[in-house]
């Protein structure tokens, strides 16, 4: 039987920490005990108690003195490292350039992300009680559409919160979309903002420059304007206390009760003006609209914020909210609304996109961006690792000499990490230049340009930047430093090549394959995104949009504007409508047929009698709207086929003349049936919807332009507009552009992935160039001999490139299925109308790197081919 | 002064060393203390006490000759130094004095 021995690792640990002069007898004692335990208590007990004793001996008296490392790195040594590193960087110009440029480009993306992230994290941090401020959020469940979360809530919830719970302080109610025209003396300006309740200034830390924070938003018809708006409106005069007249939905005059500093950019609540909530409240009371305006289900326009008392817990309030929700939802089987809490700090970046009050960035987007950037950075750092490991042989002798002269492993490791750090530092400088150079390009990407971030580099970002550079340097330099530190002196000084340097180690293959997996995935991703973007923007919507200009009405009378525009001779048909279809806007109303309990939310658009002619919408049955006045009792609607199916209205011809009931039990008559044209965006299926002839609630006008000379027409239109409404700007866009704007997300996604694809290809190509140069140089003799023996240039290309080609193919084996899976299962899954991913999309990602690889290798081979073999082989 | 007074366990260890005369090394000290006092003693504790006493100059130590046991590792034998002896005697005389001054009635019937 083998003799039992104490565990080796415990022995090694003891040896490591113990004073050398103490080690012998300590270890002897332990072994004596071990053997004794072995006989009396068995091997298990002996082993365990040995380990325990080793740990038990870890006491001050037993510890050896560890040499403090710092003193060993004298300034002279560092100076020497500096000199060696600089010389090496200068000597290997190609490799240094590849590394600095590759790292620089990818680190510039890293800097953008650092700044972007820092800005996002600074959102809403200026509120003094920010940690205690919460917002009410709603989870809306409905039997048709399931569950979704909204940043808005009902006014009722806000009221109920106000004086019901002791932990809840300073409740502030908002209502969105205050819009109007403000006039003072001779001047008129368009104004928009929020209705806000009186606690606004005690809850939030927006800076009220003039006025009393306690009463500014208390009385009805009080208006608080921002500093910049005050300057525009009143110039140098004191706005405080001025009476202004306002054309808006809920008031016709107001008194300026305060001037507030412009909201900081990094605030998710943005406004030009604030109107006291009581203005709206009073008007609603006067109109007897309270039941509908403050109904539990009316949760689309209101936002509620409050402060939680210091000693209160979220759980208590949540319990209170749950009870309130349960009470309010009782009896309603179709819609259930549950209240929840959201911390102010969780709003940006956040996870509730619907009905956000201001700018919004999702956590998902931020994480995705960070992940992609991280991958590109990794790819660039792998270049350094790879090239350095490949060239480590050249440094091995230097390391050998250093070791002979007394350098320890730690010294060598530090030296090469130091070198990597210097290189990264140079790359960081380059990255910083690139960052400033392309900052504007970044800002044009949608997620920055929605007034979300400035990408201004603040001095305090230097700390994360330096940390970032250090991490990059250490990451890139770790493996080569580690390998070089392990160099065996005797081997390298005897000219024996250490085995791990000569043949490419597995790690190196892994790194290269990783880079190509990334490149291939990005290329495929960009291709698919591009195709989807083109597909979506050119999708057949079922109605005509060519040469149709859309003009915002800004609340003007539609007939007046239509008349004004019709006088321009180049204009064909003109039609007013509530919204523009297929651009993401949706209006909804409850609709019933015969069964009073079967109601659905139906989408609609309010249109005039020219609508279907202008947009070329075919009629399946029935006729166009008859022109009527506003007061006619039965409204006319056109419905789509989906709606016929939903309510079993029979064939289109049968459906014409039937009556439906909309909100408030008003009857509407079907005058026509249209096909299922694309009401919502192409991302979703067409739902039942109707076109309602209403003669009011128009927001936008569509005009057919029959002239190729656009600038002239637009100028004429602008003149016509200014005659009608001198206050609001003439805002016109082509319908097509509006649609493209809606799908800008795809465009941005495509641009982003495309940019990263380009980056990763550049990085991979540079890495390939470095490796190719290295391979050809180190195989110079072999190639020369082959040439002498009659190998052709093609054969040499095949010889030298076959390894790379295999690696690219291996990478594509990983990348192609992975990307396919990601796009099929995650990105494209929610799209109803989507492209099918084809063979071309999947292969293009492999073909491009292969192509680049062959070009680079051929270039290198031609370089060798031109040298005379006798020059290389002369010494043999 | 800290150095001159002995702790209870220190005293026991020193007395054990003295009683074991030439054979006093950590393991035997441990065993002996266990045998006499009946309480189980951790090797690590004994080591740290020995170390402390040595640094106070109460005991001295030398390495013995290597033997076949303990994997050939030498033992560190301890002996009480003159300072240590003086301290032990001082401690004993303090105690004796105290014992002598106790009236007989106190322990009457217990001895």
Where do the structural domains in chain A lie, given as residue ranges?
8-56, 132-346, 363-533+745-873, 555-730
Chain A nearest CA to B76, separation (Å)? 6
pLDDT, tens digit (0-9, with 9 covering 90-100), for A440-499: 888 877 666 566 777 888 888 889 899 999 999 999 999 888 888 888 888 778 776 554
Q: What is the DSSP string of A740-802?
A: HHHTHHHHHHHHHHHHHHHHHHHHHHHHHHHHHHHHHHHTHHHHHHHHHTT--HHHHHHHHHH
Q: List C-alpha distances in Å: A42 to A4, A31, A36, A48, B51.
A: 10, 14, 9, 11, 31
Q: Residue B2: what pLDDT?
A: 46
**Cβ atoms within 10 Å of B52's Cβ, excluding its own:** 15
**Closest C-alpha to A338, from A309, A365, A358, A318:** A318
Report the first-to-last Cα separation within chain A, whole angstroms. 59
Binary contact (B70, A32; C-beta < 8 A): yes
State the number of CA atoms in the 13 A half-sphere of A290 facing the CB: 8
* CB proximity B43 to A under 8 Å: yes
Contact assessment for residue A127 and residue A133, using Cβ atoms and an 8 Å cutoff:
yes
Q: Is residue A261 over pLDDT 50? A: yes
Chain B nearest CA to A395, separation (Å)? 44
Q: Is residue A503 over pLDDT 50? A: no
**Closest C-alpha to A189, from A181, A179, A197:** A181
A→B interface, C-beta within 8 Å: 24-33, 35, 53, 56-57, 59, 61-62
* CB proximity B42 to A under 8 Å: yes
Binary contact (A25, B26; C-beta < 8 A): yes
Residues of A in contact with B51 (CB under 8 A): 61-62
Q: CA-CA distance, A851 to A804, in Å (whole number)?
A: 11
Q: CA-CA distance, A796 to A434, in Å (whole number)?
A: 38
Q: CA-CA distance, A686 to A677, in Å (whole number)?
A: 7
Searching chain B, which residue's CA lies closest to the CA of residue A22? B76
Contact assessment for residue A548 and residue A614, using Cβ atoms and an 8 Å cutoff:
yes
Select the residue of B27, B51, B63 nearest A29 (Cβ to Cβ). B27
The backbone torsions φ and ψ at residue A389, rounded to the nearest 5 degrees and listed phi first, read -65, -45
Q: Residue A505: what pLDDT?
A: 60
Searching chain A, which residue's CA lies closest to the CA of residue B78? A25
**Cβ atoms within 10 Å of B17's Cβ, excluding its own:** 26
Residue A414 neighbours by CB under 8 Å, 6+ apart: A73, A81, A481
Average pLDDT over residues A112-128: 89
Residue A249: DSSP 8-state? S
Binary contact (A25, B27; C-beta < 8 A): no
* CB proximity B46 to A under 8 Å: no
Q: If residue A564 lies in a helix (H) or strand (E), which one and from where to where?
A: helix A558-566
Structure tokens given for A228: 């910049």
The residue that leads in pLDDT, A118 or A741, is: A118
Residues of A in contact with B44 (CB under 8 A): 53, 56-57, 59
Q: CA-CA distance, B5 to A487, in Å (whole number)?
A: 56
Binary contact (A29, B43; C-beta < 8 A): yes
Question: B8-102 maps to which CATH number?
Answer: 1.10.10.10
Question: What percent of chain A shows pLDDT beyond 90?
Answer: 13
Q: CA-CA distance, A387 to A512, in Å (whole number)?
A: 11
Binary contact (A57, B47; C-beta < 8 A): yes
The residue that leads in pLDDT, A58 or A108, is: A108
**Closest C-alpha to A392, from A499, A283, A277:** A499
Peptide bond into A482 cis (omega under 30): no
Contact assessment for residue A351 and residue A362, using Cβ atoms and an 8 Å cutoff:
yes
Strands B59-63 and B76-80 come out as antiparallel
Average pLDDT over residues A211-222: 89
Strands A253-260 and A222-226 come out as parallel
Q: CA-CA distance, A224 to A196, in Å (whole number)?
A: 10
Residues of A in contact with B34 (CB under 8 A): none
Residue A466 neighbours by CB under 8 Å, 6+ apart: none
CA-CA-CA-CA torsion for A669, A674, A680, A684, nearest 10 degrees?
120
Binary contact (B74, A31; C-beta < 8 A): no
Sequence-separated contacts (24+) of A818-826 with Cβ below 8 Å: A818/A517, A818/A521, A819/A520, A819/A521, A819/A524, A819/A525, A819/A528, A819/A845, A820/A524, A822/A525, A823/A524, A823/A525, A823/A528
Chain B nearest CA to A32, separation (Å)? 5
**Closest C-alpha to A448, from A526, A369, A531:** A369
**Closest C-alpha to A517, from A814, A106, A842:** A814
Binary contact (B75, A28; C-beta < 8 A): yes
**Closest C-alpha to A272, from A260, A282, A255, A284:** A260
Residues of B in contact with A25 (CB under 8 A): 25-26, 63, 73-76
Q: Residue A497: what pLDDT?
A: 59
Strand partners, A522: none
Q: If residue A428 lies in a helix (H) or strand (E), which one and from where to where?
A: helix A409-444
- Name the band, by pLDDT with cuts 50, 70 and 90, for residue A635: confident
> What distance lies between CA A619 and its chain's CA centroid?
43
Binary contact (A32, B76; C-beta < 8 A): no
**Closest C-alpha to A654, from A622, A608, A676, A607:** A622
Chain B nearest CA to A14, separation (Å)? 13
* CB proximity B74 to A under 8 Å: yes
Q: CA-CA distance, A655 to A294, in Å (whole number)?
A: 36
Q: CA-CA distance, A249 to A438, in Å (whole number)?
A: 45
Structure tokens given for A727: 């206050």
Chain A nearest CA to B57, separation (Å)? 15
Q: Residue A3: what pLDDT?
A: 62
Binary contact (A25, B42; C-beta < 8 A): no
Q: Residue A298: what pLDDT?
A: 82
Q: List C-alpha distances in Å: A532 to A413, A829, A862, B107.
A: 49, 12, 41, 102
**Cβ atoms within 10 Å of A288's Cβ, excluding its own:** 9
Question: What percent of chain A shows pLDDT beyond 70?
Answer: 96
| In A2-152, beta strands by DSSP E | 133-142, 146-150
pLDDT, tens digit (0-9, with 9 covering 90-100), for A401-452: 898 988 888 889 989 999 999 999 999 999 999 998 888 888 877 666 566 7
Instruction: Burial-class residue A700 by CB neighbours within 10 Å (0-12, 13-18, 19+).
Output: buried
Angle value at C-alpha A78, between A73 and A79, nearest 5 degrees: 140
Q: Residue A66: what pLDDT?
A: 65
Contact assessment for residue A248 and residue A179, using Cβ atoms and an 8 Å cutoff:
yes
Strand partners, A635: A668
Select the residue of A24, A32, A53 nearest B27 (Cβ to Cβ). A32
Phi-psi category of residue A221: left, alpha or beta, with phi > 0 → left and psi -120 to 50 → alpha = left
- Name the band, by pLDDT with cuts 50, 70 and 90, for residue A223: very high
Chain A nearest CA to B17, separation (Å)? 16
Helices (H), chain B: 8-20, 26-37, 43-56, 82-101
The backbone torsions φ and ψ at residue B37, rounded to the nearest 5 degrees and listed phi first, read -90, -20
| In A217-301, beta strands by DSSP E | 222-226, 243-248, 253-260, 273-276
Chain A nearest CA to B73, separation (Å)? 5
Binary contact (B71, A31; C-beta < 8 A): yes
Q: If residue A577 lies in a helix (H) or strand (E), which one and from where to where?
A: strand A571-577
Binary contact (B48, A59; C-beta < 8 A): yes
Residues of A in contact with B76 (CB under 8 A): 24-25
Q: Residue A428: what pLDDT?
A: 94
Q: What are the helix and strand counts (H, E) for chain A?
A: 30, 22
Searching chain A, which residue's CA lies closest to the CA of residue B53? A61
Binary contact (B47, A28; C-beta < 8 A): no
Structure tokens given for A355: 């009905």
Binary contact (B71, A28; C-beta < 8 A): yes
Searching chain B, which residue's CA lies closest to the CA of residue A34? B70
Nearest-10 crossing angle of helices A43-56, A20-41: 150
Binary contact (B76, A62; C-beta < 8 A): no
- Name the band, by pLDDT with cuts 50, 70 and 90, for residue A172: very high
Searching chain B, which residue's CA lies closest to the CA of residue A27? B73
Structure tokens given for A164: 């019901």
Residues of A in contact with B53 (CB under 8 A): none
Q: Residue B1: what pLDDT?
A: 40
Average pLDDT over residues A341-351: 86
Q: Residue A589: what pLDDT?
A: 78
Chain A nearest CA to B107, separation (Å)? 42
Q: Is residue A621 over pLDDT 90? A: no
Please tell me the least confidently modeled range out of A260-269, B51-60, B69-78. Answer: B69-78
Binary contact (B47, A26; C-beta < 8 A): yes
Binary contact (B47, A62; C-beta < 8 A): yes
Q: Residue A393: what pLDDT?
A: 74
**Cβ atoms within 10 Å of A264's Cβ, excluding its own:** 16
pLDDT, tens digit (0-9, with 9 covering 90-100), for A360-369: 788 888 888 8
- Name the band, by pLDDT with cuts 50, 70 and 90, for residue A104: very high
Strand partners, A692: A606, A637
Residues of A in contact with B52 (CB under 8 A): 61
* CB proximity B23 to A under 8 Å: no
Q: Residue A274: what pLDDT?
A: 92
| In A197-334, beta strands by DSSP E | 208-210, 222-226, 243-248, 253-260, 273-276, 302-308
Contact assessment for residue A262 and residue A296, using Cβ atoms and an 8 Å cutoff:
no
Q: CA-CA distance, A430 to A203, in Å (whole number)?
A: 45
pLDDT, tens digit (0-9, with 9 covering 90-100), for A75-89: 888 888 999 999 988
Instruction: Burial-class residue A722 by CB neighbours within 10 Å (0-12, 13-18, 19+).
Output: middle
Q: Residue A72: what pLDDT?
A: 56
Q: What is the DSSP string of A209-221?
A: EES-TTTTTTSTT
* CB proximity B27 to A under 8 Å: yes
Contact assessment for residue A575 and residue A550, using Cβ atoms and an 8 Å cutoff:
no
Helices (H), A445-556: 446-449, 462-485, 489-493, 499-502, 506-537
Q: What is the mean pLDDT of chain A?
A: 84
Select the residue of A25, A57, A62 nearest B73 (Cβ to Cβ). A25
Select the residue of A33, A35, A61 nearest B43 (Cβ to Cβ). A33
pLDDT, tens digit (0-9, with 9 covering 90-100), for A690-727: 888 877 778 889 999 888 888 888 888 888 888 888 87
Q: Residue A304: what pLDDT?
A: 92
Residues of B in contact with A41 (CB under 8 A): none
Kindly list the domain boundaries of chain B, sorted by start residue. 8-102
């Amino acid at each position: 039987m083998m003799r039992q021995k104490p565990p080796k690792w415990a022995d090694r640990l003891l040896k490591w920490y113990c004073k050398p002069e103490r080690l012998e007898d300590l270890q002897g004692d332990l072994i004596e005990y071990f053997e004794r335990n072995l006989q009396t208590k068995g091997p298990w007990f002996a082993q365990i108690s040995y380990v325990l004793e080793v740990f038990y001996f870890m006491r001050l008296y037993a510890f050896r003195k560890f040499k403090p490392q710092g003193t060993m790195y004298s300034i002279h040594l560092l100076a020497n490292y500096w000199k060696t590193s600089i010389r090496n960087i200068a000597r290997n110009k190609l490799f240094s350039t590849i590394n600095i440029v590759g790292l620089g480009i990818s680190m510039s993306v890293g800097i953008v992300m650092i700044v972007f992230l820092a800005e996002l994290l600074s959102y809403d941090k200026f509120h003094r009680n920010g940690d205690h401020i919460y917002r009410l959020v709603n989870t809306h469940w409905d039997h048709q559409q399931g569950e979704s979360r909204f940043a808005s809530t009902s006014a009722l919830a806000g009221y109920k919160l106000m004086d019901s719970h002791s932990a809840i302080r300073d409740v502030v109610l908002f209502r969105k979309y205050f819009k109007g025209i403000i006039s003072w003396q001779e001047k008129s300006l368009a104004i928009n903002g929020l209705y806000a309740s009186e606690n606004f200034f005690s809850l939030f830390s927006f800076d009220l420059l003039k006025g009393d924070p306690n009463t500014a938003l208390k009385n009805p018809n009080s208006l608080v304007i921002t500093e910049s708006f005050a300057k525009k409106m009143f110039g140098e005069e004191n706005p405080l206390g001025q009476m202004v007249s306002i054309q808006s939905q809920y008031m016709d005059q107001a008194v300026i009760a305060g001037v507030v500093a412009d909201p900081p950019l990094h605030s998710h609540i943005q406004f030009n003006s604030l109107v006291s909530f009581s203005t709206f409240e009073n008007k609603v009371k006067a109109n007897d609209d309270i039941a509908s305006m403050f109904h539990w289900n009316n949760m689309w326009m209101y936002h509620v914020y409050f402060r939680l008392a210091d000693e209160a817990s979220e759980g208590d309030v949540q319990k209170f909210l749950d009870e309130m929700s349960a009470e309010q939802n009782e009896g309603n089987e179709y819609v259930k609304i549950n209240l929840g809490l959201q911390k102010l700090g969780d709003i940006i970046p956040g996870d509730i996109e619907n009905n956000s009050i201001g700018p919004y960035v999702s956590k998902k987007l931020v994480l995705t961006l960070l992940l992609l950037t991280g991958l590109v950075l990794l790819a660039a750092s792998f270049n350094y690792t790879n090239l350095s490991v490949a060239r480590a042989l050249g440094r091995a002798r230097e390391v050998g000499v250093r070791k002979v002269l007394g350098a320890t492993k730690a010294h060598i490791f530090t030296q090469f990490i130091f070198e990597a750090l210097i290189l990264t530092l140079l790359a960081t400088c380059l990255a910083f230049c690139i960052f400033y150079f392309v900052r504007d390009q970044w800002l044009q990407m949608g997620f920055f340009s929605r007034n979300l971030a400035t990408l201004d580099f603040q001095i305090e970002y230097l700390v994360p930047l330096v940390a970032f550079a250090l991490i990059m340097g250490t990451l890139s330099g770790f493996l080569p430093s580690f390998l070089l530190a392990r160099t065996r002196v005797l081997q390298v000084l005897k000219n024996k090549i250490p085995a791990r340097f000569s043949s490419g180690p597995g790690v190196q293959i892994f790194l290269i394959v990783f880079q190509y997996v990334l490149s291939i995935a990005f290329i495929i991703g960009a291709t698919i995104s591009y195709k989807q973007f083109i597909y979506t923007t050119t999708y057949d919507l079922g109605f005509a949009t060519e040469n149709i200009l859309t003009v915002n009405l800004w609340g003007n009378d539609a007939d007046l504007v239509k008349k004004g525009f019709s006088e321009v001779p180049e204009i064909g048909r003109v039609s007013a409508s509530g919204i523009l279809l297929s651009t993401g806007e949706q209006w909804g109303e409850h609709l019933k047929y015969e069964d009073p309990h079967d109601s659905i939310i139906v989408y609609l658009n309010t249109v005039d009698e020219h609508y279907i002619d202008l947009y070329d919408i075919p009629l399946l049955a029935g006729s166009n709207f008859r022109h009527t006045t506003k007061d006619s009792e039965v409204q006319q609607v056109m419905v789509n086929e989906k709606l016929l199916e939903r309510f079993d209205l029979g064939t289109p011809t049968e459906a014409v003349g039937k009556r439906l009931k909309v909100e408030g039990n008003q009857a509407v008559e079907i005058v026509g049936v249209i096909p299922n044209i694309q009401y919502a965006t192409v991302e979703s299926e067409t739902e039942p919807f109707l076109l309602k002839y209403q003669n009011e609630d128009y927001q936008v006008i569509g005009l057919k332009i029959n002239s190729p000379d656009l600038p002239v027409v637009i100028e004429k239109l602008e003149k016509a507009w200014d005659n009608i409404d001198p206050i609001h700007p003439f805002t016109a866009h082509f319908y097509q552009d509006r649609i493209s704007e809606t799908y800008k997300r795809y465009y941005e996604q495509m641009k982003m992935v495309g940019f990263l694809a380009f980056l990763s290809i550049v990085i991979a190509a540079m890495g390939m160039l470095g490796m190719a140069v290295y391979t050809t140089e180190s195989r110079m003799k072999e190639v020369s001999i082959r040439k002498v023996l009659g190998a052709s240039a093609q054969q040499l290309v095949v010889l030298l490139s076959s390894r790379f080609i295999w690696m690219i193919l291996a990478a594509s084996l990983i990348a192609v299925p992975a990307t396919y899976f990601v796009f099929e299962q995650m990105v494209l899954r929610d799209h109803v109308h989507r492209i099918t991913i084809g063979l071309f999309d999947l292969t293009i990602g492999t073909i491009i790197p292969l192509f680049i690889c062959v070009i680079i290798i051929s270039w290198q081979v031609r370089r060798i081919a031109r040298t005379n073999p006798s020059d290389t082989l002369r010494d043999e | 002064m800290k150095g001159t007074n002995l702790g209870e366990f220190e005293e026991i260890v020193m007395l054990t060393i003295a009683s074991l005369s030439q054979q006093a090394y950590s393991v035997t000290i441990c065993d002996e203390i266990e045998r006499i006092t009946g309480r189980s003693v951790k090797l690590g504790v004994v080591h740290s006490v020995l170390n402390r006493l040595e640094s106070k100059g109460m005991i001295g130590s030398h390495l013995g000759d290597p033997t076949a046991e303990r994997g050939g590792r030498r033992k560190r034998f301890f002996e009480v130094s003159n300072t240590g002896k003086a301290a032990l005697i001082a401690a004993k005389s303090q105690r004796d004095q105290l014992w002598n001054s106790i009236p007989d009635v106190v322990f009457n019937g217990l001895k």
